[in-house]
Amino acid sequence: MTAQQKLYEGKAKILYTTDDPDILLTYFKDDATAFNAQKRGSIQGKGAVNCAISSHLFRQLEAKGISTHFIDQASANEMRVRMVKILPLEVVVRNIAAGSLCKQTGLALGTPISPPLVEFYYKNDDLGDPLLTRDRLLLMGLATAEQVEQLQSMALRINEILIDFFQHCGITLVDFKLEFGLDAEQKILLADEISPDTCRLWDQGEADVARRVMDKDRFRQDLGEVESAYQRVMQRVLANPVSL
């Protein structure tokens, strides 16, 4: 199966059609952006690293009963995925306070969050991906009440599975962003990617607040050694087999 037409190009990935209308090819790019694309750059080898990490994590989630768009990894930078209609929502799960939560609430970086927080953001670059309330989300018709319930419970279950997986890698899962889509039968599937671009990951072997960062915050905050941090995440993730 080969890529045919470019369907969509995002900041980090390109989606291609294939000869099967139900299957798309996702190409992971080395391009990196932050702060709603105000900061732009490239992280060498990022595409292949994120493709490998995402593929492995999707396999792990599927093994634990989560329905995802993942079919298989087609090449170093390519993943075959089921065609879905993406919901214009970013679902963020937080286990430890960081990033925009600290900025908007004054909570100190590193404050444990229990039970985990599930937040919905409107995926809209022109509006700067604003935080939504449940009522605003329903008002805007971005999802139904039933879908919101399902997204919330899927996000929490995904969080449990990923916390456990990353624990085996010596990595703390601080927070992460998910995207979901609807298939032809209106079934909700986890979509997009799960990688150091979309998660905050702290190395459990490092106490220093800068050195422990293994994710895109290294790029956002100019902490340096971005490529090697992503590589270390990949090595640890791939060293832990998918378990049932």
Helices (H) then strands (E): counts for the chain: 6, 14
Residue identified by tokens 């209106």 is 186
Of the pair 176, 202, the CB lying nearest ligand 5GP is at: 176
179 binds ligand 5GP (CB under 6 A): no
Compute the least distance from the CB of residue 187 to ligand 5GP, in Å.
Answer: 24
Q: How far apart are CA 14 and CA 23, in angstroms?
A: 14
Task: Name the residue nearer to ligand 5GP (CB basis): 166 or 176.
Answer: 176
Largest CA distance in the chain: 51
CB of 222 to ligand 5GP, least distance (A): 16
Candidates 21, 4, 3, 155; CA nearest to 87 is 155
200 is an interface residue for ligand 5GP by CB under 6 A: yes
Asked if 175 is part of the footprint of ligand 5GP (rule: CB under 6 A), the reply reads yes
202 is a site residue for ligand 5GP (CB under 6 A): no
The residue among 101 and 226 lying less far from ligand 5GP, judged by its C-beta, is 101
Q: Decide: helix, strand or coil at residue 179.
A: strand
Distance of CA 76 to the CA centre of its chain: 18
13 binds ligand 5GP (CB under 6 A): no
Tell me: does residue 31 bind ligand 5GP (CB under 6 A).
no
116 binds ligand 5GP, rule: CB under 6 A? no
Please, what is the end-to-end C-alpha distance for the chain in angstroms?
A: 29
The residue assigned the tokens 């792990």 is: 60
Residues that bind ligand 5GP (CB under 6 A): 90, 92, 98-101, 129, 175-177, 197-200, 216
